Amino acid sequence: MMLIGCDVSSSRAESASAAAADAAVKEKPVLEATPTGLIYQGKVLNLGAPMSEWVAVLGADHRSTQPNPSLTVLVWDKLGIRVYPDNAKNPNAGIVTIVLNHMDNEAAGFEVAAPGTELEPLRTYDQSLSLQGLPITNSTTVRDLRAAGGDAWDFSCTKGVATCFTHRTDLAPDQLSIAFAVDGRIEDSVIYTVELQQAAQR
């Protein structure tokens, strides 16, 4: 009887442990911005890696657009993501932009492309997103991130081009450059895009 009791207790403990592990996996964000790029559905995507690696992970359902003859940007309309190459020959991923909200002409202060045209994805990113541990949704403001990040993050904003920048204060200076497109409310604006770029390129 005691052996049976032990087996039952052990089985329950293993079930509880498995359930906890499953819950932890489910809580992981679909997309996570890291100090070197992104993790999408558990797969690592580093900036500086060949564009082909990004296509292999994000999927073949993308379109190419050319802001100028020497630059071809890949846009994933259904994901709300676009990736800029670092050069035209043997291109590697140089910049990735996650679109959380479409910016209209009034918010931008100039005419912007309609969703699904030019550089603007048809849809916005609507799955779970983490910026190195800081959760971001389409209603998150820069002020929200500043409060959540505390002393580990440094934020600065410019009113002229309505852009905010941030970096981790506890990481090396060669980390990625992180920028947010905002509107005239600046820190109280929702975040329209999150842009990650290799710091050396800025």
Domain residue spans of the chain: 29-201
Q: From residue 23, how far is each of 20, 31, 127, 136, 199 by CA, in Å?
A: 5, 17, 17, 20, 35
Q: What is the model's pLDDT at position 24?
A: 40
**Residue 110, SS3 per DSSP:** coil
DSSP structure class, residue 91: -
Q: What is the model's pLDDT at position 201?
A: 46
Q: What is the model's pLDDT at position 197?
A: 94
CA distance 25 to 199: 31
Q: What is the model's pLDDT at position 183?
A: 93
Q: What is the model's pLDDT at position 198?
A: 82
Q: What is the model's pLDDT at position 8?
A: 45
pLDDT per position in the chain (202 positions), as tens? 444 444 544 555 455 444 444 444 457 899 999 999 999 999 999 999 999 999 999 999 999 999 888 889 999 999 999 999 988 777 999 999 999 999 988 888 888 999 999 999 999 999 999 999 999 999 999 999 999 999 999 999 987 778 999 988 887 766 789 999 999 999 999 999 999 998 764 4
DSSP structure class, residue 114: P
CA distance 16 to 105: 52
Contact 71, 85 (CB under 8 A): yes
Contact 100, 190 (CB under 8 A): yes
